Structure 1
Amino acid sequence: MARTKEFDERKALDAAMQLFWEKGYEATSLSALTERMGLQRSSFYATYGDKRSLFTTALQKYSETRIAYLKAKLQGHASVRESIKSCFKDIIDIAYQTNPSFGCFCVNTIVELAPHDSQFSQITSRYQEQLQILVRQALEKGILAGEFSRDLDALAVSHSLIIFMNGLLVTLKTKPERQFIDESLSMMFQLLK
């Protein structure tokens, strides 16, 4: 007779995701994972397979959760311009309120693993594409509503915003002077005309 699991898989996955987010894939040991997740190694292997499989599951969960959050955020204001600004403001506020700042799990994975691992490159590329689509759709909505010029190239601007967001997330890990970030963001928003 099969034994029933004596742990909450969702909580264990959340704990693993947080640890991978904090330390990255390579720096996270199996011992640290099982301790953080509250599991014996046998339960870990039986449920998640191995460290790589668990990382993949955690990264996909993070991606889905983050896309859902940003979709709601972009739809949460009457003004598209304000919804986009709010997304960036949240990123900055969290970085300066959290010590240390772990950035974005997907962007961290792009930096650590995507250059030499095709599976993680595909997962993070898919995340970036979904993010770009959300931003482009928001910009198109703003154009139709008359909030932005009809000449605004929603595709090009959405690409620029995502590239800026990724760079911002990496830069914020070093907590530069806030004025430097605010001035850069202000310059970026000049694209939204």
Structure 2
Amino acid sequence: MLLGPASSWYARQMSRKREFDEERVLSSALDAFWSKGYTLASMTDISRQSGVGNGSIYGAYVSKAGLFLIVLQRYCASRVETVRQSMESGQTPAEAVARLFAAVVEDCAAHSPSWGCLMLNSMAELGREWPEVREVATAATLEMQSLVRARLDEDDVASPEDRVVLASEIVVASHSLIQYSLLDDDVDALRQLSASVLSRFEPQLSR
């Protein structure tokens, strides 16, 4: 998923030997960065939550920025996998999109108040100044769009040109649902909104 320099950097970081429970550290870091944002989250927060000393974390990831980029990459990969699984399920494209929206709502409901989306949050906070963040987010979004478009191609929905736009619109709609959850994370309200959004796509998805 990562492009260019970020790809080789990620590979180097992940090849470093760890002498602690890495999944625990990465999970703690995800919670900290996702709930607080990059700027407000601290390595002390992550150390305290994971039970791993600051020195060990710095030794493994070099810096807060290094740890954050690994966490962001993993998070984006998980979001891409959600799209993949949704598009591979459902007997029709409309049902596949409905499952995607349902997965988005379920993810939003996992935290109250909603934490939104780490990828979108990070783009808003850091995307202008930090090229690697924009690179990871862009690559993930393009892959999501490609997965949706592949399902539309498989079911021969609309014209090839229209499928490109429709796939992008569906991904944007899923992002919009997550952003709306920051204003209103009531699960029933989010489900109603996702059903309404889906109804707008159904005529195109059934052609």
The reply to whether TM is greater than 0.5 is: yes
Alpha-carbon deviation of 1:18? 2.2
Taking the TM superposition and a 5 Å limit, the aligned residue runs for 1:20-169 are 20-96=33-109, 98-143=111-156, 148-150=157-159, 153-169=162-178
Asked if 1:18 corresponds to 2:27, the answer is no
TM-score, normalised via structure 2 length: 0.80
Is the CA contact 2:18–2:60 (under 8 Å) kept in the aligned structure 1? no
- CA gap of 1:126–1:92, structure 2 versus 1, over 3 A, is same
CA-to-partner distance for each residue in 1:124-177, whole Å, 9 max, x for gaps? 11111111111111111121xxxx345771101011112222222111121167
Is the CA contact 2:89–2:96 (under 8 Å) kept in the aligned structure 1? yes
Question: Which aligned segments of 4 or more residues in structure 1 are displaced greater than 3 angstroms?
Answer: 148-152, 179-182, 188-191
TM-score, normalised via structure 1 length: 0.85
Structure 2: gaps (5+ residues): 1-16
Alpha-carbon deviation of 1:6? 4.9
Alpha-carbon deviation of 1:116? 2.5
Structure 1: gaps (5+ residues): none
- Secondary structure of the residue that 1:28 maps to in structure 2? coil
Is the CA contact 1:75–1:83 (under 8 Å) kept in the aligned structure 2? yes
CA-to-partner distance for each residue in 1:170-193, whole Å, 9 max, x for gaps? 111211671455434432444423
**Alpha-carbon distance in 1 for matches of 2:113, 2:60:** 31
- CA gap of 1:93–1:40, structure 2 versus 1, over 3 A, is closer
Q: Which amino acid aligns with 2:50?
A: M
Is the CA contact 1:74–1:83 (under 8 Å) kept in the aligned structure 2? yes
Alpha-carbon deviation of 1:40? 1.2
Say which structure, 1 or 2, has more relative contact order (CA 8 Å, 6+ apart): 2
- Aligned positions, number: 186
Q: Quote the sequence identity (%).
A: 23
CA-to-partner distance for each residue in 1:45-90, whole Å, 9 max, x for gaps? 1111110000000011112222223212211223222111111122
**Alpha-carbon distance in 2 for matches of 1:140, 1:24:** 37
Root-mean-square deviation (Å): 2.3
